[in-house]
């Protein structure tokens, strides 16, 4: 390695580690080195952030996250952690990956240490069982340690009880998959559970990677006292200079070593038509927040839909409540005279006012339908609505997804008219979406922003359109 390359090879851009009273890093690296897994300096540094212990001997870091460009040695780092945990601590691991082939490859690599009786007889002597059936790969040791390997799905993880949950390819991890996996460590046999997430920055859209983004946000802001977070990527901002070799060296700790610069040059030559993809995979670029803050609805198009309108005599209502129940909204929608759909909202603090207001509106207006999604926070109002004699239509998550997509397209196609209410305008301006399975939904994860006016109004508009179509189909 040249001296200039050594200077360019930087420390991680972000490194957070909880305070510790002791650390197992020396024991882990000593054991791994005896089996040919000699960590680089950067790998040892990451291990130190993962293997610190509190005064009560529990892991200081309950959650460990690592974002590093591909082919720098992430997998070897996981192997060191798993080998040490299984052999020295008797820990049980569940190693998960997005794809079957990735999980299988990780299994074969770890299994090779325990199957090599000639070079590592002491490891072979520890083996109780090695399962090689596809989808059920596992290494089980006589000391109680084990490592099982699976590809993730929304139902994966059932039937497993482990100490350490490893989520490789975390850029593809969804909230649904994590929800299925987390219970595996809730009854950790050692009583000292840990979650490890490793990967590269996810694509800017879609539900895959939402967990990794959330962990990263906590790491950047130093919000979680029990999170160890390391990120080697470039800083957020405009697309970095993908041709700059000094940037390559700064964010790839293994460049000029196991990572051949000629291969990176080949990558950039092949990916010039997708520089954003190159920046994510090779430079660890998470994106530009300034462009990501733009909402999904064009505010100029929304403003152009403003018109004068009185509260309709005949309307459809939808109730929505914010996740923290601090605010709630009633979306009002009706057919306008010009053929468009009029959307309005009534919004206020808390939820106590909702049912009395529904009763009042029902008495004063011709209410075609009152609707809500029972599985949302609005569902908590159902007992009071039943008691007050307020009938309602139950909306499914599929219908709410359709309402979201329909509203976004409806604004583009000028199918709506609104009266310029501040609460609705603000919610539209802050509108973001997320994907759950195949559905596009309003993104409510930022609780600092109340989008209940938008959720309620878009669902009410969707119901007006749906009821009108049903009526036309019946007439036909």
**Does position 305 have pLDDT exceeding 90, yes or no?**
yes
Give the closest residue to 356 by CA, choosing from 393, 319, 322, 312. Answer: 319
CATH class of the 3-290 domain in this structure: alpha beta
Q: Classify domain 299-475 by CATH number.
A: 3.30.420.240
Strands (E), 101-257: 127-131, 138-141, 146-151, 164-167, 194-199, 227-231
For the stretch 1-36, pLDDT in tens is: 333 333 344 689 999 999 999 999 999 999 999 999
- In this predicted structure, what is the pLDDT of residue 75? 95
Bridge partners, 259 (sequence order): 255
pLDDT at 447: 66
What pLDDT score does 467 carry?
82
Pairing outcome for strands 366-372 and 14-16 = unpaired
Phi/psi at 455 (nearest 5 deg)?
Answer: -60, -45
DSSP 57-93: SSBS-SEEEEE--TTSSHHHHHHHHHHHHHHHH--EE
Lowest mean pLDDT among 163-172, 232-241, 369-378: 232-241
pLDDT at 290: 66
Assess contact for 167 and 210: CB atoms under 8 A: no
Q: Which tens digits make up the pLDDT trace of 387-396?
A: 999 999 999 9
Spans of all domains in the chain: 3-290, 299-475
pLDDT band at 254 (very low <50, low <70, confident <90, very high): very high
Q: What is the pLDDT of residue 446?
A: 67
Res 257: pLDDT: 86
Q: What average pLDDT does the chain have?
A: 91
The structure tokens 């700790």 sit at 253
Render pLDDT for 171-224 as a digit per residue (tens, 0 to 9).
999 988 999 999 999 999 999 999 999 999 998 766 578 899 999 999 999 999
Indicate if the pLDDT at residue 242 is higher than 50.
yes
Report whether pLDDT(351) > 50.
yes
In eight-state DSSP terms, residue 150 is E
pLDDT reported for residue 258: 86
Q: How confident is the model at residue 264 (pLDDT cuts 50, 70, 90)?
A: very high
pLDDT of residue 476: 32
Is residue 46 pLDDT above 90, yes or no? Answer: yes
Decide if 375 contacts 345 (C-beta within 8 A): no
Work out the pLDDT band at 434, boundaries 50, 70, 90: confident
Euclidean distance between CA atoms 453 and 180, whole angstroms: 32
* pLDDT beyond 70 at 311: yes
Work out the average pLDDT over 339-350. Answer: 95
- What is the band of 372 on the pLDDT scale with cuts at 50, 70, 90? very high
For the chain, the distance separating the N- and C-terminal CA atoms, rounded to the nearest angstrom, is 78
pLDDT of residue 293: 55
Report how far residue 293's alpha carbon sits from residue 9's, in angstroms, rounded to the nearest whole number.
32
| pLDDT score recorded for residue 415 | 96
């Amino acid at each position: 390695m040249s001296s200039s390359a050594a200077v360019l090879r930087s420390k991680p851009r972000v490194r957070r580690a909880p305070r510790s009273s002791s650390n197992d890093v020396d024991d882990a690296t000593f054991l791994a080195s005896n089996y040919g897994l000699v960590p680089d300096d950067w790998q040892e540094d990451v291990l130190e952030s993962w293997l610190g212990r509190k005064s009560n001997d529990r892991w200081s870091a309950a959650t460990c996250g690592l974002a590093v460009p591909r082919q720098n040695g992430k997998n070897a780092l996981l192997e060191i952690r798993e080998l040490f945990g299984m052999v020295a601590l008797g820990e049980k691991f569940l190693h998960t990956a997005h794809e079957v082939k990735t999980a299988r490859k990780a299994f074969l690599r770890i299994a090779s240490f325990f199957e090599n009786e000639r070079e590592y007889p002491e490891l072979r002597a520890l083996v109780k069982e090695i399962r090689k059936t596809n989808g059920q790969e596992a290494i089980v040791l006589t000391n109680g340690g084990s490592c099982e390997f699976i590809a993730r799905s929304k139902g994966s993880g059932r039937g497993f009880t482990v100490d350490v949950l490893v989520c490789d390819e975390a850029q593809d991890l969804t909230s649904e998959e994590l929800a299925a996996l987390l219970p595996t460590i809730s009854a950790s046999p050692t009583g000292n559970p840990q979650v490890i997430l490793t990967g590269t920055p996810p694509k800017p859209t879609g539900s895959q990677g939402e967990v990794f983004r959330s962990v990263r946000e906590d790491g950047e802001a130093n919000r979680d006292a029990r999170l160890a977070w390391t990120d080697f990527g470039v800083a957020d901002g405009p697309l970095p200079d993908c041709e700059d070799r000094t940037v390559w060296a700064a964010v790839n700790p293994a460049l000029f070593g196991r990572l051949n610069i000629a291969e990176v040059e080949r990558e950039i030559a092949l990916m010039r038509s997708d520089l954003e993809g190159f920046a994510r995979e090779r430079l660890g670029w998470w994106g530009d927040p300034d462009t990501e803050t733009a909402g999904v609805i064009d505010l100029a198009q929304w403003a152009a839909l403003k018109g004068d309108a009185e509260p309709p005599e005949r309307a459809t209502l939808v109730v929505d409540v914010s996740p923290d129940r601090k605010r709630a909204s009633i979306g009002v929608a009706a057919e306008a005279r010009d053929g468009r759909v009029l959307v309005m909202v009534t919004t206020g603090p808390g939820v106590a006012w909702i049912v009395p207001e529904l009763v009042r509106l029902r008495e004063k207006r011709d209410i075609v339908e009152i609707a809500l999604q029972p599985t949302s926070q609005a569902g908590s109002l159902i007992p009071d609505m039943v008691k007050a004699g307020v009938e309602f239509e139950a909306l499914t998550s599929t219908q709410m997804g359709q309402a979201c997509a329909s509203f976004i397209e409806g604004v583009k196609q000028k199918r709506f008219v609104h009266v310029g209410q501040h609460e609705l305008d603000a919610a539209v301006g802050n509108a973001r979406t997320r994907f759950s399975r195949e559905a596009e939904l309003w993104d409510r994860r930022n609780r600092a922003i109340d989008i209940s006016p938008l959720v309620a109004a878009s669902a009410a508009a969707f119901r007006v359109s749906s009821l009108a179509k049903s009526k036309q189909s019946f007439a036909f």
